[in-house]
Structure 1
Amino acid sequence: MADSENRNEGWEKQVLEKLALSSLQEQRRARQWSIFFKSLTFIYLFILLFIFSGWFSGDDMSMSRKHTALVELRGVISPDSVSSADNINAGLQHAFKDAKTQGVILRINSPGGSPVQAGYINDEIRRLRAEYPEIPLYAVVEDICASGGYYVAVAADKIYVDKASMVGSIGVLMNGFGFTGAMEKLGVERRLLTAGENKGFLDPFSPPNPGQEEYAKKMLNDIHEQFIQVVKEGRGGRLKEAPEIFSGIVWTGQKSIELGLVDAIGSADYVAREIIKAEHIVDYTTREGFSERLARRFGAVAAEALITTGISGGLR
């Protein structure tokens, strides 16, 4: 009887030991798998960080052979946009300095923007073309190349478009709102104090001032004349004599060829393959980082109300 009880106790002890050992082994395996998956997730996130930071790119390897350099100009041209002069010029400088670059394509899809920013880009293109005369630069228009976008494009050796592209809008505008009628209906009185008779220039909450409006028109005409001169210098004898060219209207790509505003039909792939003779394209566009996008979007929310109630102007 005692021997039977001892055997039962021994068996129970062995079972408990095995269960305890099995539990420990299971916990150990669970920890190992947990560490493995955490490490895998960390490596994945680390690779994503490299990709989004622009440190890990297939273009780095492809730059070792002759290629066509590409810089994208997209959206409104302004100091705080991805198509600011700083960003576009940085991409162009990098492209021209690469010894393997056979030609540069500036691909444009922009309705215009700041005349100052567009002027900076135009000036830098001219400087780079003079410094690297053996490297051609071609502008390729996608959907639209209007106003400030066209101001930039005329610095190129040639401009290529699609037959349905929108090109032109060689003009300048300044716009705003007037709230005096609404204020009268609401019984709101404007109390504006200034030192300097024109300090409240075109204030949207004050009645129109004919003298200030006339002065604003003169400024717009001066900038328009600068724009016209840049276009004439860039296009030279290719530009047809037509009074409507500088009226601010836009044309299709096909019509803009007839007017001498652009040169021919062609995409970026076509220009790289048939004109530059370097089919492989490497993108030199300065990309906007996550922190810049976040800051810009946050700032845009705060600035939007001010912009919509003030005066905005530019090559649009």
Structure 2
Amino acid sequence: MSEQAGWERKVLENLATESLKEQRRRRRWGIFFKLIVVAYVGFFLWMVWQGRSTDGGADGGAHTAVIEIKGVIAPDGEASAANVNAALRDAFKNDAAKGVVLKINSPGGSPVQAGQIYDEIKRLKATRPNLPVYAVVEELCASGGYYIAAGADKIYVDKASMIGSIGVIMNGFGFTGTMEKLGVERRALTSGENKAFLDPFQPQVPSQVEHAKEMISEIHAQFIDAVRKGRGKRLHETPDMFSGLVWTGAKSIELGLADATGNVRSVARDVIKAETLRDYTEREPVFERVARRFGGAAASSFLGGLFESQYR
């Protein structure tokens, strides 16, 4: 009887010990996850503060407004017309801004988005004619990127920057030969003879190809007109200027596609005369950036599990 009582007491002691250990583990994990949340919030606040001024200057002081146009210009990207135009409007509303620098490093993208940014620059310039807008090119300013730059008062480049690509492209693939080899048949039912316009799974229709070329030519003409209006008499046109070719920064100055060499700092200091930089770029929220890098659903699952574990 005493042996059984001792055995039961030992079991109860073990259960109590394990329960205490489990409580300690939960407490430690709770502290750990809370620290992670604090770190995320702190990082987010730091990013917001960084976005207010690249030099840490006060909002009310004289400064050069910097708006970054980086990567592909697209409606769902950071370099979208919605983001860039919002930043432009913020800069033009601030009387302390003595100039606006468009810091460009882009291969181009949507002509619609680029055109909307170009038009907004011109509209805002009419509201504050004395506020200069300069484009400063880093590595690349091509196609839609140059479309935007052409709306600036002046364009500054590095001698090795890549400038130009004044043209329009509509590309795709044709899979008809591959489908024949695989024995795959395309079945598309339409209510209009051109509804399956340039379908990659069907042979090209000459009339559709011609229509596509006409659209491209029309958009190209709009691009050329914007460049001519933006650059004016500074432009030294050549037969291949609007052919889609790209030139170095040094050559672009000779052609009148750019004005001089310079970078963001030198333009702010020597041209605008307001050395303090303030970043007006519309940044992607930190948590969205993390989610995008981890990959959509995977990141959502990870972050969801993280916070669920914290409050479980």
TM-score normalised according to structure 2 size: 0.80
Match of 2:215 among 219, 228, 232: 219
Query: How do 1:301-312 and structure 2 match up within 5 A?
Result: none
Q: Which has the larger displacement, 146-155 or 55-64?
A: 55-64
Residue 137 of structure 1: aligned partner:
133
**Taking structure 1 as reference, are residues 126 and 296 closer, same or farther at Cα in structure 2, changes over 3 Å only?**
farther
- Offset of 1:48 from its aligned partner? 2.2
Counterparts of 1:151 and 1:289, CA distance in 2:
27
Deviations 1:234-273 (A, max 9, x none): 0000001311100110000000001001100111111000
Residue 263 of structure 1: aligned partner:
259
Q: Secondary structure at the match of 1:175?
A: coil
Counterparts of 1:291 and 1:86, CA distance in 2:
20
- Offset of 1:188 from its aligned partner? 1.0
Contact 1:125-1:156 within 8 A present in 2 as well: yes
Counterparts of 1:85 and 1:107, CA distance in 2:
15
Contact 1:137-1:157 within 8 A present in 2 as well: yes
The answer to whether 1:159 aligns with 2:155 is yes
The amino acid of 1:62's aligned partner reads A
- Offset of 1:61 from its aligned partner? 5.0
Residue 86 of structure 2: aligned partner:
90
Contact 1:160-1:262 within 8 A present in 2 as well: yes
Contact 1:80-1:296 within 8 A present in 2 as well: no
- Offset of 1:300 from its aligned partner? 11
**Taking structure 1 as reference, are residues 149 and 40 closer, same or farther at Cα in structure 2, changes over 3 Å only?**
closer
Q: Secondary structure at the match of 1:243?
A: coil
Q: Secondary structure at the match of 2:196?
A: coil
The amino acid of 2:276's aligned partner reads H
Residue 127 of structure 1: aligned partner:
123
Counterparts of 2:271 and 2:105, CA distance in 1:
21
Number of positions where the alignment pairs a residue of Structure 1 with one of Structure 2: 268
Counterparts of 1:91 and 1:124, CA distance in 2:
11
Q: Secondary structure at the match of 1:212?
A: helix
Identity rate of aligned residues, in percent?
A: 59
The amino acid of 2:163's aligned partner reads V
Q: Which has the larger radius of gyration?
A: 1
Residue 288 of structure 1: aligned partner:
284
Residue 236 of structure 2: aligned partner:
240
Counterparts of 2:223 and 2:35, CA distance in 1:
56
Gaps of 5+ in 1: 1-29, 302-316
**Taking structure 1 as reference, are residues 68 and 148 closer, same or farther at Cα in structure 2, changes over 3 Å only?**
same
**Taking structure 1 as reference, are residues 179 and 162 closer, same or farther at Cα in structure 2, changes over 3 Å only?**
same
Q: Secondary structure at the match of 2:118?
A: helix
Counterparts of 1:161 and 1:57, CA distance in 2:
24
Residue 111 of structure 2: aligned partner:
115
The amino acid of 2:207's aligned partner reads G
Q: Which has the larger displacement, 126-135 or 151-160?
A: 126-135
Contact 2:149-2:155 within 8 A present in 1 as well: yes
- Offset of 1:189 from its aligned partner? 1.3
**Taking structure 1 as reference, are residues 199 and 296 closer, same or farther at Cα in structure 2, changes over 3 Å only?**
farther
Q: Considering only aligned residues, what root-mean-square deviation do their CA atoms show, in Å?
A: 2.5
Counterparts of 1:287 and 1:159, CA distance in 2:
24
Q: Which has the larger displacement, 182-191 or 143-152?
A: 182-191
Residue 19 of structure 1: aligned partner:
none
Counterparts of 1:211 and 1:237, CA distance in 2:
39
